[in-house]
Chains A and B, each alone.
Chain A
Amino acid sequence: MRALTHLDRLEAESIHIMRETVAEAERPVMLYSIGKDSAVMLHLAKKAFAPAPLPFPLLHVDTGWKFRAMYELRDKVAADPDIKLIVHKNSEAERLDINPFDHGARHTDMWKTEGLKQALDAHGFDAAFGGARRDEEKSRAKERIFSFRDRNHRWDPKRQRPELWALYNVMKNKGESVRVFPLSNWTELDVWQYILREKIEIVPLYFADERPVVERDGLTLLVDDERIPLNGEQPQMRRVRFRTLGCYPLTGAVESNACTVEEIVAEMLVTTTSERQGRAIDRDAGAASMEKKKQEGYF
């Protein structure tokens, strides 16, 4: 029989992690952000528990500012009768009309960080799968696959549990929770190779197309709806795609002709910009920005 490839091994490891979580946690949930990593994670979860349906719901912490194409894919995924999707929006942020144009970093904090905590608390979830990978960002490289959060959802990088072999300690006290990262050992290239191999559906915005854009603070933003203030600017039609997807006013597009996964990979191989650069979020507070957010409870 053929030897297992690195993708086979990564897949098997992720499935092992998911099964271990479901066996030991009381109320697991999968964070679903509609991006390509979420798509891969969801695909792996279906594999892990087949022929049974997913033994946990998906949770989308919505900001109301995602790309329209993301909502379309999300609703398509949720139409599967075997999938239960919970959408949570922070009502306080909604009341205060917090938005990325007027509130900057506060937008991410209230909609995403606070919204996530609210949703986890409201449903009593004690384990939440996230699609983060260790190759994305330096502070993630040291985070465990099973990453503990105290009652206030805080991460303490100095008090992480040693993680040996494939033995995960999922024990916790009431009120504490664990974030589980089944894709920890995947790289961006692995994710794309897997999407290609498994024919996983992703948001079309990852592929290049003619789209109306404006330039803001060095980011090329898509004019996805009429909420973007134009101040007399004329959106230009350019051939662009997105390397990551988040809130559309915070996510920059890149010029590209890549219309297939193969072309995206080809572009990556000679690419000049790493994946998270299209995101304003990492730049908020300098080098330690992501680590700080994680300590505060961000995924």
Chain B
Amino acid sequence: MNAPADVAAWLESHEQKELLRFITCGSVDDGKSTLIGRLLYDSMQIFDDQLATLEADSKRHGTQGEGIDFALLVDGLSAEREQGITIDVAYRFFASEKRKFIVADTPGHEQYTRNMVTGASTADLAVLLVDARKGVLTQTRRHSYLAQLLGIRHFVLAVTKMDLVDFDRAAFDAITADYRVFADQVGISDWIAIPVSGLSGDNIGERSERTSWYSGPTLLEQLDSVPLDANADAQKPFRLPVQWVNRPNHGFRGFAGQIASGTVVRSQDVRVLPSGRTTRIERIVTADGDLDEAVAGQSVTLTFTHEVDCSRGDVIASANAPPEVADQFEAAIVWMDEQEMIPGRGYWLKLGAQIVTATVQHPKYEINVNTLEHLAAPTLHLNSIGVATIATDREITFEPYAVSGGSPNRALGGFILIDKLTNATVAAGMLHFALRRALNIHRQPLEVSRETHATLKGQKPAVLWFTGLSGSGKSTIANIVEKKLVARGRHTFLLDGDNVRHGLNRDLGFTEADRIENMRRVGEVARLMADAGLIVLTAFISPFRAERELVRHMLPEGEFIEIFVDTPLSDAEKRDPKGLYAKARAGEIKNFTGIDSPYEVPENAEIVIDTMKLSAEQAADLIVEELLRRR
């Protein structure tokens, strides 16, 4: 082996390896870490000094007395070592003669659905661990369900700790029969049960002599032979989500991205989504020279024979089998954040290279992952899974995530939701289908443009958005501002919180979700009025930053002017013009801003009015002056 010629041959064969990603599911007690440790150990991925550390660690933290605790090879973070549990997703690597493997090691603890879903999102196969002494448990069903939800099609039921039941065939057969009932029920067809022992290595890398009654493959043989999703992806129609436009000079304009599915060849007709314009592939550019053909999984740069608009977030697709474009969907959502989902709030939705604002409605139902029952739920909490309607603020190019009998459309069907303030990834989702095809409801092109409306009125439209505590003086100041603007010949309209709640929004209460819907509707109305050329003034408490930002993004840059009417709570409460604070303090009004519901102070308001320093009249003058200065 040490002769360079042998190594060259060996390297040559190893260069041709395939890549399989899989996930292991089970709880700490099922011997999961031990099983992975054993796979690494058997495939010689442990070096001698690591082994020495392992032996020392085994004595210090281990659970195997003087023996080696393979689990310590995979338990990474020191906090976890102390607790003796794995609390996140860890990735491990090993290889067989045929394949390289990436293992996502995820915990079995109930509160960590998030981690399992993360690990499953990229996996071709799931190894479900079942303790031979305990049999199929609720968690086994839960893990199967989650893996299937994420589109995994191949399952291995690893019946562990067979050494502790003396490699008893009856125990193994009973577990297999039990799982078969469940698998048939949920439609898992490709699965195999293997009797193993991580501790002694039976049927993992090598066939065990102690299970002579078992004739199936070892775990490693199964991992080596299962079909790869990557090969299935290559058979689908061509899609490339554009990540980055490569423009080093005027002579070159290339569209860079990783091919999500199918193949692309030179001179192929393609369609750019969502615009739907067609063109033809001129070159498939790589640093190693142009290609005639490229396949799913490759990162390439494409150029067109004739230029059409195409930028980051667009999808280049087969011209005669393009993906759908829509802005309303049904989706399965896995909530991953401590803060519960707020129906109606705007979140960033990222799908492929597309980032849009999306709102989620109240769930149609939540899924009990243990019983698979559908439950009514007002919202989704950390680790809960539900089905809900999602609306995006513009059309996105997508494909349904799940494909009957095929590999899932991960690249154009899977999405994440991002909180606009904390930037945390709060949810992951899988699109089921479009609720209405955007193609059928093309926005009516308006022949009289918003510019025309504005020009006719001789003004630039704007939305003056007054925000502040109840009793801060928003309505008073807004009224004076409107009068002053009208006196200068401006066309205005004032939307007042209380008035709107008597009409358009009479069906809404004061819960967080209703307040958000209230703001969304007011925002939409303000936008329509701005489109009509008006200067709109709104006076609403509008306590949440996220909703004010949502309205800001509805309008063209510079047209949303946030005016923070800044009054200390103590002062607003002292004034209490409508007697509301007194009632809230007495508990007669719930969810009152400043008392038992938060007010999020604007961070970047265009205008801040300090009511302790300025009279309402002075404040109005300042606002009018600022508005005129901005024109």
Contact = CB atoms under 8 A, between A and B. Distances in A.
Interface residues of B, number: 82
A3 B231 contact: yes
A288 B75 CA distance: 12
A139 B243 contact: no
B49 A277 contact: yes
Contact of A263 (B7, B16, B117, B295): B7
Interface stretch (A45-53, A92-100, A103-111, A112-120): A45-53
Given A164-B428, A165-B414, A173-B423, A141 B4 contact: no
Interface string A1-42: 101111111111101100110110000000000000000000
Interface size grouping (class) on chain A: 35 or more
Interface in A251-284: 260, 262-263, 265-267, 269-275, 277
A193 B8 CA distance: 10
Interface stretch (A121-129, A154-162, A205-213, A232-240): A154-162
A164 B1 CA distance: 40
B11 interface: yes
Interface in B3-28: 4, 6-8, 10-11, 14-19
Interface string B246-257: 111000101011
Given A8-B297, A167-B415, A287-B57, A142 B11 contact: no
Contacts of A244: none
A3 B294 CA distance: 10
B77 A139 contact: yes
A47 B17 contact: no
Nearest to B99: A6
B374 to A, nearest CB: 24
Interface stretch (B86-94, B361-369, B473-481): B86-94
B64 interface: no
A134 interface: yes
Given A12-B258, A265-B11, A273-B49, A52 B246 contact: yes
Nearest to B419: A171
Interface stretch (B285-293, B457-465, B612-620): B285-293
A19 B78 CA distance: 33
B287 A22 contact: no
B367 to A, nearest CB: 18
B50 A15 contact: no
What DSSP secondary structure best describes chain A's contact surface? helix
Interface in A62-108: none
B423 A142 contact: no
B47 A272 contact: yes
A88 B287 CA distance: 30
Interface in B215-248: 230-231, 243-244, 246-248
B336 to A, nearest CB: 5
Contacts of A216: none
B11 A165 contact: no
A166 B81 CA distance: 29
B2 A51 contact: no
A139 B115 CA distance: 16
B76 interface: yes
Contacts of B350: 167, 169
Contacts of B4: 260, 262-263, 266
Given A4-B295, A5-B16, A12-B297, A19 B252 contact: no
B424 interface: yes
B271 interface: no
Nearest to A167: B416
B358 interface: no
Contact of B77 (A10, A171, A271, A291): A291
A184 to B, nearest CB: 7
B450 interface: no
Interface string B83-115: 000001111110100011010000000000011
B382 to A, nearest CB: 11
Contacts of B414: 164-165, 167
A1 B293 contact: yes
A1 B49 CA distance: 43
A151 interface: no
Nearest to B122: A165
A21 to B, nearest CB: 10
B411 A23 contact: no
B298 A265 contact: no
Given A167-B350, A185-B91, A287-B53, 17 more contacts: A1-B295, A3-B231, A8-B298, A9-B19, A12-B298, A12-B299, A15-B258, A16-B257, A19-B256, A47-B288, A51-B285, A52-B248, A138-B76, A157-B77, A184-B91, A185-B102, A193-B15
Interface of B: 1-2, 4, 6-8, 10-11, 14-19, 47-50, 53, 57, 74-79, 81, 88-93, 95, 99-100, 102, 114-115, 117-118, 121-122, 230-231, 243-244, 246-248, 252, 254, 256-258, 263, 285-288, 293, 295, 297-299, 301, 312, 336, 348, 350-351, 353, 410-411, 414-416, 418, 423-425, 428
Sort A-B residue pairs by CB-CB distance and give the 5 closest, nearest first.
A274-B47, A52-B248, A288-B78, A50-B287, A138-B76
